[in-house]
Structure 1
Amino acid sequence: MKHRTLGTSGFKVSEVGLGCWQLGADWGDSLSQETGFNILNEAVKNGVTFFDTADVYGNGKSETIIGEFLKTCKTPIGIATKFGRAADAYPNTYSKDVLRKTVEGSLKRLGVDTLDLLQLHCIPTQYLKEGDVFNWLRELKEEGLIKHFGASVETVAEGLICIEQEDLLSLQVIFNIFRQKLTTELFPQAEAKGIGIIVRLPLASGLLTGKFTKETTFPENDHRNYNKNGEAFNVGETFAGLPFEKGVDFIETIKKDMLPDHLTMVQLALRWILDHQAVSCIIPGASSPKQVVGNAEVSNLEALSPKTHKALKEFYKSIIHKEIRGRY
């Protein structure tokens, strides 16, 4: 596993981290604590040193499982969690007191004295523009409750607002082969300011694994079912904002015309992201230890050829981009 620095003033992170939404079992099949431990153990065994979670994942379940795991883990792990989507704050009751209460809860569940990274969790744009929340974060940092702060955002515009905060460490963004706009409209600006990029949904809710067909169905409580057209939250968080059937068609074209013979679709999708210098870390989720191993191995793959990068870029610009829905 290779490592990169999160921004210019942050800490070392494994190129491949672990997204921990699934540990909270907010959707799909519920994971037991034992399965969660197996996933976390396998991640550490394969060099993963960065976990990303949030207070709302399973109403604290994800943080709790991670906290219990950390009690027995001897490897230093960087933990990022989030604030801003719980009912006591979202969508319009943000305050310094609510933020402090959230942080105290996360500290208790994770069993730590200070948070390595606290991220604003896709809070409404108006609060990013007003900027008070960043001052509240600075106060918590001065008190030692958090070491760094960043923001998870939905759009390029929100990212550009956030990077004007000089002490912002990182941005968490949706970025994958299906959503390439950030390469020119956000990454250069973030790099220039020394802000790290954490990539969520690198596999577009599983579409980029190449395992789905148009006949694939998902459980009723899976966001790939109930939010496939943005019925519950931003459609961009599900299948990168693509209509499912079109996404399957795009995958077949990539497999046929752009996938190198020695790579799987997962390897192509993850390696493509890591080939971007601005990216500090990708955080694919995993519902089994086997998936963790496969994701971690991508760090040691060679960069994709310029020919492959050019083909994927042209495919996005000419075909994919116009099909993306949702805030972007």
Structure 2
Amino acid sequence: MNYRTLGKTGFNISEIALGTWQVGGRWGDPFNNANADKIINTAIDAGVNFIDTADVYSDGQSEAAVARVVKARKEEVYIATKCGRQIQPHTAVGYTPERLTKYVEESLSNMQLDTIDLIQLHCPPTEVYQRPEIFETFERLKEQGKIRNLGVSVELVEEGLMAMQYSNVASIQVIFNMFRLKPSEQLFSKAKENNVGLIARVPLASGLLTGKMNLETTFSPEDHRTFNRQGEAFDKGETFSGVDFQLGLEAVEELKRLFPGQEPLAAWALRWILMFPEVSTVIPGASRPDQVLSNLAVANLPALTAEQMKGVQQVYDKFIKPEVHSLW
């Protein structure tokens, strides 16, 4: 496993980490603690020392599972969680210092911890980034010893740039993958300039970039890939990175031609992200232990060639950029 520094936190974290949106089972399935424990232990066994969760993942069960396993291990493993998405309707006016403080305390209770390594605002509305009192709230929580660092998870590049006006923002979590190239244009250089860590989320575009899907692929009714393709429940960009499913499949076939051989496209999609030195870590999810191992095998892949990097850009420009580039 290779490790990179997560911005101002100073944490030396695994460049492939673990996202836990679906760690207790596939999207829409009931949470399975035994399966979650196996997945998390498999990751730590292989050198993962950074795990990302959120209070809304399975109503706090994901947080509890992550902390339970980490506390049973001897290795130092950093836990990052998120808050804010419990606010309904999810509008800026719902974000108050009192409410956010309550959410942090509930996460501490869920995890039976005294301190959270990294708490992240969970894709708040853009207007929240114009409210200094929200970010000052986390300074008080830090002084109280309840958190060590503050980060933000964003939908828009613009939001990431706005977040960096606050000196206590140590990391930015953003969708970045072969179907979402915009963050590399401006956000990455600004993050480096401000010593802000970058966490690449949705690295496989909700599974599109595994190369295993086709037009006959179906998902359960409770899976966001069924009910959120047009943003019916939350930001459309969270599902297939906002790319039309059929268009994405066409682009995937072009990408496969760039990477002939035995390795699946998913592995190359993750390796592509690691070609950007500004990225601190990538957080693919897993619903089975073998998926964790498959993700971690990326460390053994060679760097992409200049021709392959150019080819990914050309596929993006041809299929994806006209549809999504201006949206996020």
With the length of structure 2 as denominator, give the TM-score of the two structures.
0.95
Partner of 1:202: 203
Does the 8 A contact of 1:23 with 1:57 survive in 2?
A: no
Number of the residue aligned with 2:217: 216
Aligned twin of 1:309: 309
For 1:1-328, what aligned pairs fall within 5 Å after superposition?
A: 1-23=1-23, 27-87=27-87, 90-91=90-91, 92-256=93-257, 258-261=258-261, 263-324=263-324, 327-328=327-328
| Contact persistence 1:154–1:327 (CA under 8 A) | no
Q: Please state whether the residue corresponding to 1:23 is helix, strand or coil.
A: coil
Cα pair 2:24 2:62 within 8 Å, conserved: yes
Gapped regions of structure 1 (runs ≥ 5): none
- SS of the residue corresponding to residue 166 of structure 1 reads coil
Distance in 2 (alpha carbons) for counterparts of 1:275 and 1:254: 16
User: What CA deviation, in whole Å up to 9, does each residue of 1:229-262 have, x standing for no partner?
Assistant: 2111111000010111111111011112x11435
Q: Is the 8 A contact 2:220 2:226 kept in 1?
A: yes
Greater Cα offset, 40-49 or 68-77: 68-77
Assess, with a 3 A threshold, how the Cα gap between structure 1 residues 74 and 83 changes in structure 2: closer, same or farther.
same
Structure 2: 5+ residue runs without aligned partners? Answer: none
Farther-moved stretch of structure 1 (262-271 vs 65-74):
65-74
Deviations 1:1-46 (A, max 9, x none): 1111101442111111100111366932224100000101111111
Contact 1:120/1:152 (CA < 8 Å) preserved in 2? yes
Q: Do the aligned partners of 1:119 and 1:151 also contact (CA within 8 Å) in 2?
A: yes
Give per-residue Cα distances to partners, 1:186-237, cap 9 Å, x unaligned.
Answer: 1111111111100110000000000000111111010000001211111100
In structure 1, what is the Cα distance between the partners aligned to 2:211 and 2:43?
A: 23
Q: 1:26 to 1:103 in 2, by over 3 A?
A: farther
Distance 2:311 2:195 in 1: 29
| SS of equivalent residue, structure 1 residue 187 | helix
Q: 2-side partners of 1:150 and 1:250: how far apart? A: 32
- Quickly say closer, same or farther: Cα 1:102–1:24, change in 2 above 3 A: farther
Larger deviation: 311-320 or 286-295? 311-320
- The Cα of 1:275 is off from its aligned counterpart by 0.7
Q: Residue type of the partner of 2:76?
A: P
- The DSSP-based 3-state class of the residue aligned with 1:100 is helix
- Give, in angstroms, the shift of residue 137 of structure 1: 0.8
C-alpha contact 1:38 1:289 (8 A) present in aligned 2: yes
Give the superposition deviation at 1:89: 8.1
Shift of 1:65: 1.2
**1:102-146 Cα distance to aligned partner (Å, 9 max, x none):** 111111211221110000101111111122211101111111110
1:290 maps to a residue whose letter is D
Q: Note closer, same or farther for the CA distance 1:141–1:65 as it changes in structure 2 (3 Å cut).
A: same
Question: Percent identity at matched positions?
Answer: 44
Distance 2:312 2:23 in 1: 32
Q: CA deviation at 1:326?
A: 8.4
Cα offset, 1:286, TM superposition: 0.1
- Where has structure 1 moved over 6 Å in runs of 4 or more? none
> Structure 1-normalised TM-score?
0.95
The CA distance in 1 between the partners of 2:26 and 2:80, in whole Å, is 18
Equivalent residues of 2:25, 2:288 under 8 A apart: no
Number of equivalenced pairs: 327
Q: CA deviation at 1:94?
A: 1.7
Change (3 A) 1:326 1:66: farther
